[in-house]
Structures are given as C-alpha cells and as structure tokens.
Structure 1
Amino acid sequence: MNLERVGDKVRCRAFPVTLAGPAIRWFNSLPQCSVVTFLDITRAFLAQFTTRIAKEKHTINLLGVTQRAGEPTRKYLDRFNDECLEIDGLTNSVASLCLTNGLLNEDFRKHLTTKPVWTMQEIQNMAREYINDEEVSQVVAANKR
C-alpha cells in the first residue's frame, strides 16, 4: 500500500483484514470513531502489542539460568544449552563462566574452575562423567529405600 500511495481510508479499511486471534478481538473492541487516521490505529496497535514481541536475548540472560535445588545436572545443562542457542555471538569464555556460576554440583564446578576457558563441547563431554555418577547415586539411593 505504501508503494501505491494509498490514502488513510483505504489503509484503515484494509488493516483489520490482516489481523487474527487476539489482534482482531482487540480491533473489534475499539470504540467507534476512535480511529481517524492510519497513524491512530498504528499507535494504538503498537501500544497494545509491543510487549508481546519476543525480545532478543543477550549474554546477561545466562546469569539467570541457574541449577535449581534437586535438579539433575543433565536437566540444568539442557536448559542452559537451550538458552545458549538463542544468543548470537556467545563466546566460550562467557558461556563457561555463566554455566559454572549457576552450577550447584560442587565437584563439577571445581573441575570446571581448573581451566580458564572450556568450550561447550568439552563441558558436555566432561559432564557425562558427573551426570552418570549422579544418576547411579539416585538409583542406589532408590534401591536402599
């Protein structure tokens, strides 16, 4: 419509056709005559829906990914890796530091602090040993009960 230099009336009439779900319900609930120009509807739409836009994740988000009490190391690493995949330009040093910071498994943490920077691949390979140990300990504890 911008290329065709269409006026506000046409834009305002065409806009609701592009909406679905919550957006069309919001549009239908607007008071009559509350939209005079396309700029009015643009501002109202953005005010209503911009908080729902997915925000880009940054490396600082990784500091909030911590192992929960009672959470197996395997699940923590899975959650941590999922977060890493959503961050562009993540370096091994930052990922390694954040992972170590959020880790509750003291033995694993001590092992990770012996070397300044680990790649995520190295951490995953090393984690297998600690994860296997945790899982065997859980099975033994369950059998004792």
Structure 2
Amino acid sequence: MSLWCHIFTLTLVGAARAWFERLPDGQITSWEDLAKKFTQQFSQQRRHISDPTDILNVVRKDNETLEDFITRFNQEGLNIGGVSEELLRAAFRQNVKCDDLIRNLTGRDGMPQRWDDVMTAAKRYA
C-alpha cells in the first residue's frame, strides 16, 4: 500500500474508520483503489436502495392537504420502485388519514383492485 494510503487512513474517524477496519486484508492495493472504494462508500451521490415496504412509511402529515399527500405518495411510490399494487393500496388506505375518502373509495364493492382506479377516485374526491 502506498504512503498516501497509510497517511490517509490515519485521518479516518467514526464511520470511516469503522468501514476501513472492516475491509479484508489485501483488498486495497493502491491509492487509486482506496480513493475509488472510499468514494463509493461515502459519496452523497450514491443511490439509496429502497425496499418496496418503505411505502408503508409514507404517512400523511397533519398539515398536508389531501391533494398534496396523493401527489407525494405517488412520487414516493415511483422513487421506491417495485411496489406491488396490493401494497400501494394497503399503504395508501392506512396512511391517508381521511375516513371519508376511504368510505368513498371502498363503497359497497370494496376498494378498486387497480391502483390507477384508486388514484382516479381519490383525485376526484380531493
């Protein structure tokens, strides 16, 4: 390992130090290699990998209008990706915090099976 690698590692603290100490021996072979791996680990540009169940955490805020929540919920669903229509419907129903909308959506036949139909009805209601 080059001198730059040794000097750089002396400056590491916190999460960076823990990350470096967990690297297997021999994994870093050059300054360029260390810089690349360090940047990959700690870059703010690194894309967060979402789990489809993260949609369950998208909850309507107390001061948020119904229309704003519908827009934000759809955007979050797209950002998360891979969320099934069943999970979208369940999360929306649970987190919209509007009993009148839910009664309107479910009616006698239950909530629509297609997500597009749920959104059409919700937007019409809003």
TM-score (norm 1): 0.56
Who is 1:130 aligned against? 125
Once residues 118 and 69 of structure 1 are traced to their aligned partners in structure 2, the CA distance between those partners, rounded to angstroms, is 28
3-state secondary structure, aligned to 1:121: helix
Asked if 1:41 corresponds to 2:35, the answer is: yes
Shift in alpha-carbon separation, 1:32–1:100, aligned structure 2, 3 A: closer
Q: CA RMSD in A?
A: 3.0
Who is 1:103 aligned against? 96
**Percentage of matched positions with identical amino acids:** 16
Q: Which runs of 5+ in 1 are unaligned?
A: 1-7, 10-30, 132-145
Asked if 1:60 corresponds to 2:53, the answer is: yes
3-state secondary structure, aligned to 1:86: helix
Q: From the CA coordinates, give the structure whose radius of gyration is larger.
A: 1
Q: Which has the higher contact order (CA 8 A, sep 6+)?
A: 2
Tell me how far 1:71 sits from its aligned partner.
Answer: 1.4
Shift in alpha-carbon separation, 1:46–1:101, aligned structure 2, 3 A: same
Tell me how far 1:126 sits from its aligned partner.
Answer: 0.9
* Aligned positions, number: 102
TM-score (norm 2): 0.63
3-state secondary structure, aligned to 1:34: helix
The residue identity in structure 2 corresponding to 1:95 is L
3-state secondary structure, aligned to 1:107: helix
| 2:56–2:91 contact (8 Å) kept in structure 1 | yes
